[in-house]
A and B are shown apart, each in its own frame.
Chain A
Amino acid sequence: MAADTAILLWLNSFVGHLPWLDRAVSLAVSDYFVPTTLALLMVGLWYSGRSEAQRERGQRAVADAAVGLGFANLAVTVLNHFYYRPRPFVEHELRLLFYQPPDSSFPSNPAAVGFALATGIALSHRRLGGVMLALAFLWTAGRVYAGVNFPSDVVAGGAIGALCSVLAHGFLPLLEPGPTIVLNAWRRIYLA
């Protein structure tokens, strides 16, 4: 825990020294920038592929990521029900670049969301998944810099998100032919 706080205080000590970095981090940690960017990358993947087979592979990866996100949200909700950790700004004097969220700091929900989506894609599309993992890392590291999460919060959240997407990746094929039926139904209305 001492290392956790030390890393937080060290990172947050840079706030106010480089205004351009503070502005960039403020944008990166906003509730809209990274999640929307990740979602747009998934929209792009949904339509990419030079053949129907390639496109279907991408669409199944998007499904993995979406189901993984659902699992991760469920896991975080259950954990928050049993464990509450105050935000770092409650216990320490920090320079905040973000509003003060009232919910539990542990585990970080944005980290769970970001890593669930990125891992779901990375399992079958390494390059795009790598870009998404980098974005998820920026989002979550930025939250530590901005003073709203401890490092252990984002590590735990990221691990939960990644694990949930790995589970979804293994789980969805077990539901066949369900996913294929859904995909074919979407094809009939030009959504896939």
Chain B
Amino acid sequence: MLLLFFEYLAFAFLASMGAIQLAVSLSGLRGLWLTPWPGANRAVGALLIGGSAWWFFASGDRATPFPLLEGSQQGGTFLFAAIVATWATVFLIPLVSRAWRRRAPAAPPTGSRGLESLRARSYWPRSYRGDDRGG
């Protein structure tokens, strides 16, 4: 049961990271991009979703009741994984994609709240450097 929980948690986390990359590459939230190229972000997103799904369903029999994550357990695990994936994308990805931030093109005007404030800049420059010009 505990093993299934961690396996599902890993699957949901990686797949959520992939879904986020796919979505933000289309919506233009550059502060959440893993790479400077939207096509590459979509490819990484698709790979994360497909790879994690393949790993989860191939690594064990998922059609047995023992062990089983009940609906509410599964929903709670997914929600937790999606929240962690969001924060990992907001706070960690900018740290590992510094090259992109140096090469970022001129950014459109930024919004002021939540994810919208990351349209043209990542979380860290805004917090630590007060830099409004983006990466």
Contact = CB atoms under 8 A, between A and B. Distances in A.
Interface size of A as a range: 35 or more
Interface of B: 8, 11-12, 15-16, 18-20, 22-24, 26-29, 32, 49, 53, 56-57, 62-65, 68-69, 71-72, 74-75, 78, 82-83, 85-87, 90, 111, 113-116, 118, 123
Given A31-B68, A47-B115, 19 more contacts: A31-B63, A32-B56, A32-B74, A33-B62, A35-B71, A43-B19, A43-B85, A45-B23, A47-B23, A47-B24, A48-B23, A50-B27, A73-B71, A98-B63, A188-B113, A190-B86, A190-B87, A190-B90, A191-B86
Contact of A35 (B74, B86, B111): B74
A101 interface: yes
Contacts of B71: 31, 35, 73, 109, 113
A192 interface: yes
B14 to A, nearest CB: 11
Given A36-B15, A43-B23, A47-B29, A187 B8 contact: no
Nearest to B22: A44
A55 B115 contact: yes
15 contacts: A30-B57, A31-B71, A32-B57, A35-B74, A36-B15, A43-B19, A47-B23, A47-B29, A48-B23, A49-B27, A50-B28, A97-B63, A99-B63, A99-B64, A191-B87
Given A36-B11, A47-B27, A52 B19 contact: no
Contact of A43 (B53, B62, B75, B82): B82
A104 B83 CA distance: 33
A29 B57 CA distance: 13
A55 B20 CA distance: 13
B69 A190 contact: no
A62 B82 CA distance: 13
Given A32-B56, A36-B11, A48-B27, A190 B63 contact: no
A190 B68 contact: no
Query: Could you tell me the dominant secondary structure of chain B's interface residues?
Result: helix
A186 interface: yes
Contacts of B64: 99
A55 B28 contact: no
Contacts of B78: 36, 39
B126 to A, nearest CB: 11
B62 A55 contact: no
A150 interface: no
Nearest 8 A/B pairs, CB to CB: A187-B114, A47-B23, A52-B116, A43-B19, A44-B23, A44-B19, A40-B19, A99-B65
A66 to B, nearest CB: 9
Contacts of B56: 32
